[in-house]
Amino acid sequence: MILVNSIGLITSGVCLFCAHLLLLRRLDTEVYLPLALLFLFEGLAIGFGVLVQIYDPDSTGHLFRASVIIGGLELASPFLFWAYVRALTTEGQAERIPKLRYHIAPILLVLAAFWSLLFLPSDFDASEYTDDDLRLIGIVLIAFVVVLADIVFKAMIATYVYLTIRRLIAYRTRLRDVFASTENRELTWIWVIIVCIVIYLSASIAFTASVLLGVFAENSYEDHLQVFDATALLFMFWIIGVWGLRQRPGLTRQPVITPEQPDASAARKYEKSALDAERLERIAAKVETAMSQDLLYRDPNLSLWDLSKRIGVTGHYVSQALNMHLNKSFFDVVNGWRIKDAVKQLNTSDETILVIAYDVGFNSRSAFYKAFKRETGKTPSDLRK
C-alpha cells in the first residue's frame, strides 16, 4: 500500500504541475484549456484518493466524502481529452463544440449516480440489518446504481476513444492536403495513448467479468491490481504531460493572398465550386510549372498555402485542381516530384542516399525511404545497384 500511495502522490504532483503550466499559456488557450482541466481534475481526484488511503483507510470520515465529491471530476476526463484533440486538429481558430449538452448530460448523470455514495452510512454493518429493512434495501440500491454508473462510464470512454480515432484519421487526411512533409505533425503520441487506453479498458472489463463469473476472487489479486493501476496511470499522464506541453496545433497556416479563403469540410468540399474543367487544367499546369521549373518541391517545409501564394491561386482552388484533375493530394503530388528527382540523382550522381534525400526536400531518412518504396516499389539502394 505504501508503494501504491507513493506512486499516486507522484501522479497527482505531475498532473497538478502540468495543469499549472498549461493554465499559464497565453497562446492557443482554447486548445490547451481542456488539457489543463484534465490534468487539474485528475490531479485533485488522485491526490484526495491517496489522502483517504493514508488518513481515513476505513472510509468513515469527512475526508472520504470530500474525495467522493472531488473524485467525480474524473468522469469528465474522456470528454476533455477528446475536446483537446479536437481543438488541436482544428484548422484555424478552434470552433465551439456543437450540441455540447449531449456531451455534458451523460457526465452529469453518471456523476449523480457516483455521488450516491455520499448517502451510505459511515458505520455500515450488514449484521445489524434484516432482509426487509428499508435501510439495507437502500444500500443495495445505491450499490446497484454505482455499478451501473461504472458500466456507463466505461461505455463513455469507448465512445470518446472512437470519436478521437475518427478525428485523428480526418486530421491525417487533411495534413496530406496541406503539407508535403507530415512526419512532425502526425500526433503519433496520441495514437500511443489511445492504444494504451484500449488495452487498459479491455483488461479492466475482462477482469470485472472474470470476477463476476467466479473465475477467481478479486481480493487475491487486489495488491497487484492496485500497483498496476497506479503505475499505468503515472505512465499515461507522464506521456501526456511530456508531449502535451510542447505540442502545437498541426494545421497552423500562414497568411495567403486571399484572406477569405474558404475552409470547407470534407463532406461539402468543392460542392459549390465555380471552377470548370478548363480552369482546373490551367491551375494544374501552374502547379507543374512551379515544380518543374522553380523546383518548389525542394522546400522541406512546403505547404499548400506557400504553393498557392507562389502561383497566385487560392489554396482551396489549388487543392481542388490536384484532387479532381490529377486525382492526387498535395502530399502525393509534391512527394512524387521529389522521388522523380531522387531517382534521377541516384542514377547520375555519386552522392550518398541521405544527401539526396535532404536535397530533394525530405526531412528524414525514414520518410524518404517510405515514399520511395511507395512510388517505385524499390528501395534507393536497390535502384542504385
Query: In three state form, how does the secondary structure of the chain look?
Result: CHHHHHHHHHHHHHHHHHHHHHHCCCCCHHHHHHHHHHHHHHHHHHHHHHHHHHHCCCCCCHHHHHHHHHHHHHHHHHHHHHHHHHHHCCCCCCCCCCCCHHHHHHHHHHHHHHHHHHHCCCCCCHHHCCCCCHHHHHHHHHHHHHHHHHHHHHHHHHHHHHHHHHHHHHHHHHHHHHECCCCCCCCHHHHHHHHHHHHHHHHHHHHHHHHHCCCCCHHHHHHHHHHHHHHHHHHHHHHHHHHHCCCCCCCCCCCCCCCCCCCCCHHHCCCCCCCCHHHHHHHHHHHHHHHHCCCHHHCCCCEHHHHHHHHCCCHHHHHHHHHHCCCCCHHHHHHHHHHHHHHHHHHHCCCCHHHHHHHCCCCCHHHHHHHHHHHHCCCHHHHHC
Q: What is the pLDDT of residue 211?
A: 67
Q: What is the pLDDT of residue 180?
A: 86
Phi, psi of 131 (to 5 degrees): -65, -25
Cell 474558404 sits on residue: 262
> Is the same domain home to 345 and 237?
no
The Cα 88–Cα 35 span in angstroms is: 10
Q: What is the pLDDT of residue 125?
A: 54
Centroid of chain to Cα 255: 27
Contact 270, 318 (CB under 8 A): no
Within a domain: 268: no
> Is the same domain home to 277 and 366?
yes
Which are the contacts of 369, defined by CB distance < 8 A and separation ≥ 6?
A: 379, 380
| pLDDT (tens digit per residue) in 4-57 | 889 999 999 999 999 999 999 888 888 999 999 999 999 999 998 888 888 877
Within a domain: 53: yes
| pLDDT (tens digit per residue) in 142-174 | 888 888 998 899 999 999 999 999 999 999 988
Q: What is the pLDDT of residue 260?
A: 35
Q: What is the pLDDT of residue 218?
A: 57
Phi-psi category of 92—alpha, beta or left, where left has phi over 0 and alpha has psi -120 to 50? Answer: left
Model pTM? 0.81
Contact 101, 44 (CB under 8 A): no
> Is the same domain home to 322 and 365?
yes
Which CATH number is 137's domain given?
A: 1.20.1070
Contact 261, 314 (CB under 8 A): yes
Within a domain: 379: yes
Q: What is the pLDDT of residue 252?
A: 67
Cell 468543392 sits on residue: 270
> Is the same domain home to 225 and 280?
no
pLDDT category, 264, cuts 50, 70, 90? Answer: very low
End position of a domain, from candidates 201, 226, 244: 244
Set of cell numbers at residue 108: 452529469
303 compared with 134, residue with greater pLDDT: 303
Q: What is the pLDDT of residue 221?
A: 60
Centroid of chain to Cα 88: 8
Within a domain: 250: no
Phi, psi of 285 (to 5 degrees): -65, -40
| pLDDT (tens digit per residue) in 52-104 | 888 877 666 777 788 888 888 899 999 999 999 999 998 877 778 888 999 99
| pLDDT (tens digit per residue) in 100-109 | 999 999 999 9
Pick the range with the lowest mean pLDDT from 33-42, 53-62, 332-341, 348-357.
Answer: 53-62
> Is the same domain home to 237 and 297?
no
Q: What is the pLDDT of residue 63?
A: 79
Residue 315 has pLDDT above 60, yes or no: yes
Residue type, 134: L
Q: What is the pLDDT of residue 65?
A: 81
Residue 258 has pLDDT above 80, yes or no: no
Pick the range with the lowest mean pLDDT from 157-161, 305-309, 323-327.
Answer: 323-327
Residue 179, strand partner residues: 303
Q: What is the pLDDT of residue 59?
A: 65
Residue 320 has pLDDT above 50, yes or no: yes
> Is the same domain home to 221 and 281?
no
Set of cell numbers at residue 353: 542516399
Within a domain: 73: yes
> Is the same domain home to 235 and 279?
no
| pLDDT (tens digit per residue) in 104-136 | 999 999 999 988 888 876 655 555 555 555 667
Q: What is the pLDDT of residue 271?
A: 46
Which CATH number is 309's domain given?
A: 1.10.10.60
Cell 504541475 sits on residue: 17
The Cα 36–Cα 25 span in angstroms is: 10
Within a domain: 257: no
Within a domain: 265: no
> Is the same domain home to 216 and 329?
no
> Is the same domain home to 121 and 11?
yes
Q: What is the pLDDT of residue 42?
A: 94
Q: What is the pLDDT of residue 193?
A: 92
Number of domains in the chain: 2
| pLDDT (tens digit per residue) in 271-283 | 445 567 788 888 8
Residues of the domain holding 328: 273-384
Q: What is the pLDDT of residue 239?
A: 92
Within a domain: 170: yes
| pLDDT (tens digit per residue) in 187-232 | 999 999 999 889 888 877 777 777 667 665 656 566 677 788 888 8
Q: State the chain's mean pLDDT as an integer.
A: 83
Set of cell numbers at residue 263: 475552409
> Is the same domain home to 287 and 168?
no
| pLDDT (tens digit per residue) in 227-257 | 888 888 899 999 999 999 988 888 765 433 3
> Is the same domain home to 217 and 315?
no
Residue 303, strand partner residues: 179
> Is the same domain home to 291 and 239?
no
The Cα 304–Cα 75 span in angstroms is: 40
